[in-house]
Amino acid sequence: MTNATWRKSTFSNPENCVEVALIAGGVAVRDSKNPQRGALVFDNAEWRAFVRGAAAGEFS
């Protein structure tokens, strides 16, 4: 994932944020203040399910 382009929400706090990167076959997620700790990797189906669940309020 060394070539990954990491992005974060423009609505987020500059110091404490989750970053995401599109990678082959899915999405990687990491903590912006500790990027050296690695990332969680989700395949496309897992990521779609998470986004749908978040939009539906399943995690509130």
Long-range contacts of 21-26 (CB under 8 A, 24+ apart): none
Split at pLDDT 50, 70, 90, the class of 52 is very high
Rounded to two decimals, the pTM is 0.83
| Burial of 27 (C-beta count, 10 Å sphere; 0-12/13-18/19+) | buried
C-alpha–C-alpha distance, residues 59 and 37, integer Å? 24
pLDDT digits (tens, 9 = 90+) for 24-48: 999 999 999 899 999 999 999 999 9
Give domain limits for the chain.
1-54
